[in-house]
Amino acid sequence: MSHIHTIRFLLEGRVQGVGFRPFVCRTALSLGLTGWVKNLGGVVEIRASGDREALLVLERKLEEAPYPVAVEKVTKEEVPLENFSTFSAIESSGEPLAPLFPADIAICPSCRKELHDRKDRHFQYPFLSCTACGPRYTIIRSLPYDRPRTTMDSFPLCPECQREYEDLKNRRCHGETICCAACGPALSMVTEGREEAQGDEAIERAIALVKAGKVVMVKSIGGFQLVCRGDREETVLCLRRLKHREGKPFALMVHSLKEAEKLCFLTDQDRKLLTSPACPIVLCRPKKEIKTVAEGVPRLGIFLPPSAFYDLLTDGVKAPLVVTSANMSGEPILYKDEEALSWFKAHEIDFLFTNNRDILRPADDSVVKAEESHRDMIRRSRGFLPEPAVQGAKEGTLLAMGADMEPSFCLTAQGRLYPGEMPCDLENESSEEAFLHMIEDWENMLGIRPERIVTDLHPRYISSALGERLSADRGIPLWKVQHHQAHGLSVMAEHGLSGKAAAFVFDGTGYGTDGTIWGGEILLLEGNQMVRAGHLDAMPLLGGDISMKQAWKTGLASLVYAGLKTEDYRYGLVKAALAAGVNTIRDSAMGRLFDSAAALLHLKEENRFKGECAMALEQAAVQAKRKGKTALPLHLSLKEEKGQLIWHREDLIASLVEADGTIEEAALGFHRAIVDMVVESARLLGVEQVILTGGCFHNGILWTETKEALTKEHFKVYGNEKVPCGDGGISLGQAFYGLMQG
């Protein structure tokens, strides 16, 4: 007879809110083990009794638990023998020990099947979920993750749902968000401040109204959204006027991969991202341009329904839908019912489809892009928050404040780095207060009390001022780190790099240690040390925020800098202003060079939204490649000056305005001139590890061709994949810097 033992397991990772306890019960019972499993703060505790071989098998199976479970660490110890009659899940207890909150998970295939099955009791119920799907991050108050600690506590389970909750063989066993039409949240339609329909009738009205070309407002998983047909030009233009969003692209929600294939050329990576549990917007290559939706850009945002409601809506309308946040461009997301209702009335929207489940914290739709095997994270939000981007780092508790554009913050504890995203720029008092509220909410949610704060070096960043305020209020130390150094360190943090690395950091702005604007940087990074090994030559630009929008000014300033002339009537004004030093700044940002090229090639003269000119330049280069055209032989000049590699732009500017060839060939040549200069600089630096980061590397051609060229030269190339390479990921690098400082 085998000897019986009792083992206590503690499991860390993504182990709550993902169906892990039922999995443990089923596995233990199949092995003939007895005992129990429970949530203990932010971890899961197991007591299991049985023979040693069965206990070893259990341990192995725990580590191999299927997605969305992610077991990071298993701690076990033998305890005095305990006798149990069976194996069961028991009531949770304890304070958070090592919190890892689950992210929101898109509707799973099993629930989707039930949603459309007339014989199933969940048929057409817009809030169905199970242990493998449903809201998590947006509704959890605290750990342990149990229904009473979520906004589902207002919806007691009906007898049928209770039976499913207790049935180990049912995939809804211990599903904390499960519900049905008899006991769960209810959909309602509101117009002119009055409720007009509920339940099935509200769904039917939503389908009919959107199908007819109306713009409606919807309470979604992480906030309120505006929805309309994407195949009706006049409807999309109406939505643009409503949001004051002149040219920025919209994304389209489609019902299935089959529908996505009709609009875009999908790669295997695209399909994998589209059907992933995070269900992000995926930027794909369009088969044809949809002008009112996404004009003049190389990619079209596509995503599948993240919830049962949207699955029903896309299935009923049978057309791609524009789905966007219900706010003015640049404003915080609306997620509180009272504020949303006021906005609904103030903007004279005809129809609101809402529900009676509270949203605790906002989450925008995440945006990603696949460049072959590389995942380019554009916006890290729903489906990814609040999971850590880095684990196993140096321990310490701190708060990093990010930057003002694409603001983010990062909290650290127990070797985990938790970046959070603020879905609007820090431009006004309301966005500042929303940012501080989100930081406080995360600190409480994760149980983290920062012992120091890290900010950007920029003396006029709002995020830096807020960090200084928090530091003074809390009486904790404040550190500052240079903008582009933080960009480079974010990649080192993601990939766990050590030793020396050459970081090519290309973006549109950033305060340098010399008081000028940087952004075309070659940095040598080792530990927390930074050496500026080179950069794009700094040229005078007409200053102010408006210069980042008016690419034509940057283009004309480039001509003045290169000693070239043009018949453009504005040239003399720009030249005179530069000569007089009127509101000028010295700028070495790669983003402004992209703006110059777009303006000089007459592709775009204004950035109506961030990066529009650069996207137009990329799109022209993409067209050249698709048509098999040859890139014009353009180049930057590399000179070593005072121990630094300086990239001079004069020859490149001259070639852009004087060379023969098409605009598309010139655009492709421009990209390849930068690629060539990166490779030549890397050779001269003699460093094995190369980092490519900064917002310019959202450009697919720049990223792909630079990586390919460096790889051929046997460099090891790294970029951001878990956080954006733009300013949305900078807080991760700041946090990493702070941890290295000790």
Helix H or strand E encompassing 691: strand 689-693
Q: CA 292 to CA 237: how far, in whole Å?
A: 7
- Three-state SS for 198? strand
Contacts of 45 (CB under 8 A, 6+ apart): 8, 9, 10, 11, 37, 38, 39
CB 552 within 8 A of CB 620: no
Catalytic annotation, residues? 21, 39
Q: CA 614 to CA 596: how far, in whole Å?
A: 9
| Tokens matching residue 346 | 């103030």
Q: CA 564 to CA 557: how far, in whole Å?
A: 10
Q: Is the peptide bond before 156 cis (omega within 30 degrees of 0)?
A: no
| Tokens matching residue 416 | 């985990």
Q: CA 227 to CA 207: how far, in whole Å?
A: 11
The DSSP symbol for 646 reads: E
Tell me the torsion sign for CA atoms 382, 384, 388, 389: negative
Query: Distance of alpha carbon 511 from its chain centroid, rounded?
Result: 24
Please give the torsion angle defined by the CA atoms of residues 170, 176, 178 and 182, in that order, rounded to the nearest 10 degrees.
120
Contacts of 371 (CB under 8 A, 6+ apart): 700, 703, 704
- Going from the C-alpha of 471 to that of each of 412, 442, 481, 720, 742, the distances in angstroms are 16, 17, 15, 29, 17
Q: CA 567 to CA 60: how far, in whole Å?
A: 74
- Going from the C-alpha of 217 to that of each of 90, 210, 224, 337, the distances in angstroms are 41, 10, 7, 12
Q: Is the peptide bond before 96 cis (omega within 30 degrees of 0)?
A: no
Strands 539-542 and 478-481: unpaired
